[in-house]
Chains A and B, each alone.
Chain A
Amino acid sequence: MTPTVLMQVYVFILAGFVGYQVISRVPPLLHTPLMSATNAISGISLVGSLVAAGANYGPVSTALGFVAVTAATINVVGGFMITDRMLKMFRQDRKAKK
């Protein structure tokens, strides 16, 4: 295993651990927004897709990249927007606030 791969494994495991810790504090109330939020975040595949679509690697790569950029953008744009729309609906008791 090269040092680079080893570092990547480190990063992956630590990120998974942080994720587990952070997400175990999300109340069941917000589990659906959590799913759509992680979905939007996993649209980060956009970063890889952009390179495939924008580098001059030939028509096949450009085509694959273009479809990948489109699919990832649907998740990023749609995911963040719909999560916000859902979260907007969660409100506390009016009487309690008064």
Chain B
Amino acid sequence: MATMARAATTSDVFNAIAEPQRREILVLLRTGERPVTDLAQELGMTQPGASKHLRVLREVGLVRDRKAGKRRLYGLDARGLRPVHEWTGGFERFWNESFDRLDAYVRGLEQERQEEQR
């Protein structure tokens, strides 16, 4: 039903990952390359369905494929994630990572003070 609309809206990485099943595919591919049959089975979708999603992901540069013998393996391509990363913004990332360090630092400080009191 949404085939036409999808063709028009999946031209960038943001639209590609707006679809939950495609995000699930990316999560599965984190651990390594997989053939389409694996992915389809694990996500409970048909193989043509999984192939369609993989094609979209490949077109926006999130997924790479290669032939391994008779099988075709799909893997995550991190370069495609750059626009998402840039959009999430260095500013947030800078502060989230600073707050990671703050968290570790004040917990250490709290422990030091408690030991001093003993």
A and B held together in a complex: no
> Residues on B close to A: CB < 8 A?
none
